[in-house]
Structure 1
Amino acid sequence: MNVRQDAWSDKDDRLLANTVLKHIREGSTQLKAFDETGDMLDRTSAACGFRWNAIVRQKYEHKVKEAKRERKMRMRASAKQAANHINPARHSSFLTTMDQIINYLEGTADQLEQGFHNQSVEEIEKEITSLEHSKESLQQEISNMKKEYAAMKRDYETIVHMMNRAREMAMTEETIPSSNIFRMDRNGNLEKLSI
């Protein structure tokens, strides 16, 4: 069996997982983790994201939850530290609001992440297949239009050639003295006049 040269190794998967987990713990985005991993592995960030969502994430689900928990704890500790610099008696509403904001942002981030991961690999592959079919259809349409354009161009050149030839013949007839002269009568019929 041939092994693809661009196949993912276990080492590549571990590097991808560790980078994503680090970014989650630090409060960064997975997209940045995919960019960083792509640079290290000489792959696109899209390939890293696809690999993470399709294969690697399931193996590290527990560690992802743990990294998110660490991030929450770190953010709360940071918020508490900032709150310690403020007089709690004067700014109790600020502390409540800050906790609400943190909780809201954490919930929103989790919702966005779930929405992204709910899109299955099959759905993504169907969308890719659909886009490829659309591309082929458009390429066929372009090819047909090019053929029609070429035919119209040939017809146009033929008409121009015929008009030029008719013009040349008309000019030649004007220079040759004509012995026959015609006139149109009232009924629209041509009658020959004798000179």
Structure 2
Amino acid sequence: MNIRQDAWSDTDDRLLAETVLKHIREGSTQLKAFDEVGDTLDRTSAACGFRWNAIVRQKYEHKVKEAKRERKRRMRASASQAANRINHISNRPLQLDDMIQYLESLSSQLSQQEDTESIEQIEKEITSLEHAKQSVQQEINNLKKEYQDMKRDHDTVVHMMNRAREMAMTEEQLPSANIFRMDRNGNLEKLSP
């Protein structure tokens, strides 16, 4: 069995998974993870994205959920630290307006992350559709080639039959007994009487 030189190894898959999970935990995007892994493995980020979405993600679905929970915990902790800093800097108790302003900025950050996840899902679907398109195109090309081969064989058989029919008609018209033999290539040769 031949192994493709560009085949993904288990180590490559683990690196891809660990990098994507790290980016999710840190609030970064999967696209940035694909770029990072692509640079490391000398592959395109699209190839990394396709590998993640088509093969690796299913194996790490539970860890992806954990990474997203961790990201939310970090964001909450960051919010709490920011509130403490505001309180410490102002040397006054935290006011409701301060909290509202901070929560609005936090809500904006969360909505941007949700938009990023939605975009990533769309990109995943696009990658999957592009792969399916390539597979269908390859199948079409194979069928076209097969059709051309069959057409050529058909034309050869028809040509051979027409030549045999012509020879048979010529034989009927001539009074002498002509005997012909067909060789492997479909050529007729006259045998001596």
TM-score if structure 2 supplies the norm length?
Answer: 0.59
Counterpart pick for 1:105 among 90, 100, 112: 112
Structure whose alpha-carbon radius of gyration is higher = 1
Alignment of 1:3-152 (within 5 A): 3-87=3-87, 88-89=94-95, 91-119=98-126, 121=128, 123-128=129-134
Q: What percent identity do the matched residue pairs reach? A: 62
- If asked which structure has higher relative contact order (CA below 8 Å, sep 6+), I would say 2
2:178 maps to which residue? none
> How far has the Cα of 1:85 moved from its partner?
1.9
1:32-72 deviation digits (Å, cap 9, x = unpaired): 21111112212222211111111001111111111111111
**Structure 2 CA distance for partners of 1:3 and 1:41, relative to 1, 3 Å:** same
Tell me, what secondary structure is at the counterpart of 1:4?
coil
Aligned residues: 131
> How far has the Cα of 1:13 moved from its partner?
0.5
- Structure 2 gap ranges (5+): 88-93, 139-193
In the aligned structure 2, how far is the partner of 1:119 from the partner of 1:44?
16
2:166 maps to which residue? none
> How far has the Cα of 1:117 moved from its partner?
3.2
Does the 8 Å contact 2:34/2:49 carry over to 1?
A: yes
1:120-150 deviation digits (Å, cap 9, x = unpaired): 72x2224446899xxxxxxxxxxxxxxxxxx
Tell me, what secondary structure is at the counterpart of 1:5?
coil
1:8-51 deviation digits (Å, cap 9, x = unpaired): 11111111111111111111111221111112212222211111
Q: In the alignment, residue 121 of structure 2 is paired with which amino acid? A: Q
TM-score if structure 1 supplies the norm length?
Answer: 0.58
1:192 maps to which residue? none
> How far has the Cα of 1:119 moved from its partner?
4.5
> How far has the Cα of 1:3 moved from its partner?
1.1
In the aligned structure 2, how far is the partner of 1:16 from the partner of 1:73?
23
> How far has the Cα of 1:74 moved from its partner?
0.7
In the aligned structure 2, how far is the partner of 1:86 from the partner of 1:100?
18
Does the 8 Å contact 2:24/2:67 carry over to 1?
A: yes
In the aligned structure 2, how far is the partner of 1:29 from the partner of 1:103?
13
